[in-house]
Amino acid sequence: MKLWRRRASEAEASTASIVVDGARKSTGGRARTRVVMTMAVFFGIYATIAGRLVYLGFEDAEAPSGPESRITASRPDIVDRNGEVLATDIKTASLFAEPRRIVDPNEVIEKLSLVLPDIEVEQTYHKLKSGAGFVWLRRQLTPKQQNDIMQLGIPGIGFRTEKRRFYPGGETASHIVGLTNIDNKGISGLEKYIDDQGLADLQATGLAVATDLKPVRLSIDLRVQHIVRDEISRAMEKYHAIAAGAVVLNAKTGEVMAMASVPDYDPNNPYNAHDKDRLNRMSAGTYEMGSTIKSFTTAMALDSGKVTLESRFDASRPITIGKQTIRDFHGKGRVLTVPEVFIYSSNIGSAREADVVGIEGHREFLHRMGLLERMNTELPEVARPSEPKVWKKVHSITIAFGHGMSTTPLQTAVAAAALMNGGKLIDPTFLPRTEAEADAIAEQVIKPKTSEDMRYLYRLNAEKGSGKRAEVPGYRVGGKTGTAEKVVNGRYSSSVRFNAFLAAFPMDDPQYIVLSIIDEPKPEKPGMGATSGLNAAPIVANIIRRSAPLLGVKPEFSHESKATLVSYQ
């Protein structure tokens, strides 16, 4: 019995030992499994990190970070006729943000305002809170602004390299060259013209590659352009005017060599480009051109064959028609020859010249000369002239001396070129053009004999008439003054004027037309007048004196001619 109990006890102990050993073996296996799993997880994490480091090591260091954005397209350089750069592309940095990575928009705005004090706080806050992947904060930063923002170390913002337009000459040719918008698209001037000729389509298809874009050469001469702008700026200040302008036009080809209008703007910072007073008055403004229109009245009379230089017109008494009375500013009170009508700028004589041709003939002639048609040229900013809907005799009489119709100064110069070049009307161009190309598109609008007579009258007026202050020794200048009263409160004001001087040189074979305008000039000194001969004519003289050598016109002092006044007292 005792033996049995002892064996049973030994069997129980043996069984217990086997159970304990099995438990120990099971626990050890689970522990090893956990260790292996843990090691696998850490291995996976380190493998991922290592893989990412390898990837970043091979990634292009110059590749931009952040979401993709639209890149501004390239534009061709714009150069003057001598190859001087007027507009070109430069690289600039633009600031963007990734709102999803922005933690505190207020802190970002506070820091950015240290560099960009004019930042739109509310608008920027909404952008940063939008949760978008990409938003622009400021386009086209200066290098200093970019550097200062980088020093702030703000997470979630970055920079993109874009192209922007740079104009080395600043304001010098702003109205001609024009502007681009923030996306480098042309919106005015020749910049817009270039887009309209196909550049915009190339940009849209991604084919506007900088290396493939040849420079666009203009007809203007930057040296002469600088002179023109300098002279009209000085005149505006000297005569306390509200505006001034001038153009130099090649009479043989129609090329615009220079054209400026002030006030203007800096295309590199065009914050005021759309202000009303920054209008390009030479092509986008219409004005009653005053007595410069008498050039065309006289040419019309001569071209009709009913009037010659020896013809005479009675200017002894004013003309009364309806409620209007036509008088001369400095009347002679007698019969005047055609040259006298011209150099004395007789309103009465001009009215009688128009009467010879008749109302319909008068209107047709001005349309033929392009003065009442919308001008055809590359510049987009071109105004449409105005005229009476129905011409009556009173309209013909007043238009004869420059009141009652409005046209642009540029097309006045273009029409004057036809008076000087043998009678050929040539559309103006801001691109290079040869004489042969000009002849192919020219329209004969007056007889060569009429042009010869008008050259004589222009020179005579500079020697003996109101154009004396436009004289430049050696260059044989001729021209016609124009002092127009402006309409104030529905009536013509004798104290508010729009003045112009229309000139050509050298008069034996005119190569260039120069037209100056000055809006609401004041007397230079107390007691002086403010007529065209006193302010607009000197502008032309200064432009010719400084620019003629640059234009290749040599002075001749040995062949100075003196026109003879045909006078019948």
Residue 212: CA count within 13 A, CB half-sphere? 9
| Backbone φ and ψ of 347, nearest 5° | -65, -40
Helix (H, G, I), strand (E, B) or coil at 50: helix
CA distance 500 to 564: 25
Tell which residue, 345, 343, 326, 303, has the closest CA to residue 397. 326
- Does the annotation mark 304 as catalytic? no
Q: Cα dist. 520→2, 354, 481, 498 in Å?
A: 143, 28, 15, 6
Per the DSSP assignment, residues forming a β-bridge with 485 are 497
Report the DSSP pairing between strands 216-217 and 78-79. Answer: parallel
CA distance 104 to 126: 12
> Is residue 460 within 8 Å of residue 342, measured between CB atoms?
yes
Per the DSSP assignment, residues forming a β-bridge with 117 are none
Helix (H, G, I), strand (E, B) or coil at 555: coil
Give the 3-state secondary structure of 302-357: HHCCCCCCCCEEECCCCEEECCEEECCCCCCCCEEEHHHHHHCCCHHHHHHHHHHH
Give the 3-state secondary structure of 14-47: HHHHHHHHHHHHHHHHHHHHHHHHHHHHHHHHHH
Q: CA geometry: angle at 509 spanning 505 and 515, to 5°?
A: 30
In this structure, the chain runs to a length of 569
CA distance 162 to 70: 9
CA distance 313 to 319: 12
The alpha carbon of 124 is separated from its chain's Cα centroid by a whole number of angstroms, namely 32
Angle between helices 294-303 and 347-357 (to 10 degrees): 40
> Is residue 134 within 8 Å of residue 70, measured between CB atoms?
no
Residue 395: both structure tokens together: 């309209």
Per the DSSP assignment, residues forming a β-bridge with 478 are 504
Q: What is the DSSP letter of 446?
A: S
Which is the catalytic residue, given 283, 291, 311, 466?
291
> Is residue 256 within 8 Å of residue 432, measured between CB atoms?
no
Instruction: Give the active site residues.
Output: 291
